[in-house]
Structure 1
Amino acid sequence: MPDIISEADIKLLVDRFYERVNADPLLAPVFNEAARVDWSHHLPQLYDFWSGILLGTARYRGRPFPKHIPLPISEAHFQQWLALFFATVDAHFAGPVADEAKLRARSIGQVFASRLGQLGRLSVL
């Protein structure tokens, strides 16, 4: 399998991941009912976010954490988010950037969970 090396790869990763999120009985209600995500607006922001992290671009402008504060999320939500993210990466990519994507996702999840007062450490796969 290829590694993540291009904007097309970032788009594939983000699109496939959020397809899984939208089909997930635990996560879909948070995104679609609680947060009421406008996917046509949100997905391009996510492309920029992950492109910046994995490809070094600098298009993303935002503060993602504050948007999560009012949401009804628990450690179980973070665990599921990570499991789906890891599964998506593993289904489409292999290599050092793919590994970095999983490392960064785990780190982001841990920071968000900690800042939101969730107990425990996130462990996935």
Structure 2
Amino acid sequence: MEVNQTNNTLYYTDKKLRDPVKTLDKNAFLQIMVAQLRYQDPTNAMDNSKFIEQMAQFTSLEQMTNLNTNIEKLYTLQQFNQASFLIGFKVTLQNGEQLLTGTVEKATMGENGVKIWVAGNPYTLEQVTAVERGTPDESK
């Protein structure tokens, strides 16, 4: 597993990295365990250690899911903090093939992620290619 430097400019994108239809969630995991218990052979009951092992796996899965959710929230807040810092700064943005320059007016956080607003239009932080300290007259 490759680990990037902390100052690397590699950004996480808002794209889904996996197809949720093809992954098992905690409800599916519980359904599998209940089915195993329901359809086990009564003459050859399930080994208690295997049941405890599966419960431990379930607990571990649930904790990893909670951790992932918290990390995603932390990432969003960190991105919003970065966007807020850019208010009043002059930025250059990559918009398709075009480079745009303007002063960041505001930062917003919503369902579509964190956005900075330049000339009345929203942009993502990933579109920022350069930042310059603006003068007070430019931000008006």
TM-score above 0.5 = no
Q: Which has the higher helix share?
A: 1
Q: Which has the larger radius of gyration?
A: 2
In the superposition, the TM-score normalised over structure 1's length comes to 0.30
Structure possessing the higher relative contact order (Cα contacts under 8 Å, 6 or more residues apart): 1
In the superposition, the TM-score normalised over structure 2's length comes to 0.27
